[in-house]
């Protein structure tokens, strides 16, 4: 049974810091991994999608890496800004068939001005 | 505009009542999934529909049911509402193909009193 864990649960950093959010999963047989951003009470906005054959994806100040063998993904945010304050969710889609995507509980990020 | 629209945005129901939540997905999203997100937790998979048939279900009782229509819209129906059903309900569309991830709507906040 796939389980997804995100560490830390919450993070508070001063503006301008580079930071790393961690996601771990128990079953390495994945189809892809997706990072989302969620503002309070809102839906999910897709940030980056990494296919199982890929090692990393980049979009602007965001970089996500994937290490299937160790069951880990990291989301790197460069030069953090107050507008980055949100909850970041990691989601794993299984590679064994079906579309049941498993989410972590998220990391709540607060960037102080 | 994400390509997935949910209605209503907020809803208050009384315990024991029935509710229907709606989702409109753009053309090409032939798979639609529904998720329940309790406060402070990651989304939990309810079920998914592909070509108007349910083809995956999470650990939710039968009083959670759904429909998908030929125009890519879908519904989530919940009967005999319980207080614990209070949550954010998210609809996600998925295009067929290797390079696509989920596109989520903004969600419906359901409060059961």
Q: What residues of B are in contact with residue A51 (Cβ under 8 Å)?
A: 98-99
Per-residue pLDDT of chain B (113 residues; tens, 9 = 90+): 458 999 999 999 999 999 999 999 876 788 899 999 999 899 999 999 988 999 889 999 999 999 999 888 999 999 999 999 999 999 999 877 666 788 999 999 999 99
- Residue the block writes with tokens 């505009």: B1
B76 and A CB contact within 8 Å: no
- Residue A100 to residue B98: CA distance in whole angstroms: 16
In sequence order, what DSSP letters do the residues of A29-71 get, joined into one string? -EEEEEEEEE-TT--EEEEEEEETT-SEEEETTEEEEEETTTT
User: Contact at 8 Å (CB) between A106 and A21?
Assistant: no
Q: Do A98 and B56 touch (CB under 8 A)?
A: yes
DSSP 8-state code for residue A113: -
CB-based contacts of A4, cutoff 8 Å, min separation 6? A23, A24, A25, A26, A90, A91, A92, A102, A103, A104, B42
CB A75 within 8 A of CB A62: yes
Name which of A43, A51, A104 is nearest B42 (Cβ-Cβ). A104
**What is the DSSP code (8-state) at residue B100?**
-
Q: Cβ of A34 under 8 Å from any chain B Cβ? A: yes
- Cα three-residue angle B88-B91-B97, rounded to 5 degrees: 145
């Amino acid at each position: 049974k796939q389980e997804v864990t995100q560490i830390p649960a919450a993070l508070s950093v001063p503006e301008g810091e580079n930071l790393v959010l961690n996601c771990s999963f128990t079953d390495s047989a994945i189809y892809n991994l997706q990072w989302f951003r969620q503002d309070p009470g809102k839906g999910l906005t897709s940030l980056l999608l990494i296919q199982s054959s890929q090692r990393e994806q980049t979009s602007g100040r965001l970089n996500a890496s994937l290490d299937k063998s160790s069951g880990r993904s990291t989301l790197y945010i460069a030069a953090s800004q107050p507008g980055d304050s949100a909850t970041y969710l990691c989601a794993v889609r299984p590679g064994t068939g079906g579309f049941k995507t498993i989410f972590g509980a998220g990391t709540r990020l607060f960037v102080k001005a | 505009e994400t390509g997935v629209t949910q209605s209503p945005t907020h809803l208050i129901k009384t315990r024991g009542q029935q509710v229907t939540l709606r989702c409109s997905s753009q053309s090409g999203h032939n798979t639609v999934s529904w998720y329940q997100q309790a406060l402070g937790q990651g989304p939990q998979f309810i079920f998914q529909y592909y070509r108007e048939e349910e083809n995956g279900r999470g650990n939710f009782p039968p009083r959670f049911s759904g429909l998908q229509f030929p125009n890519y819209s879908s519904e989530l129906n919940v009967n005999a509402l319980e207080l614990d059903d209070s949550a954010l309900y998210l609809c996600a569309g998925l295009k067929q193909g290797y390079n696509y991830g989920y596109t989520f709507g903004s969600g419906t906040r359901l409060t059961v009193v």
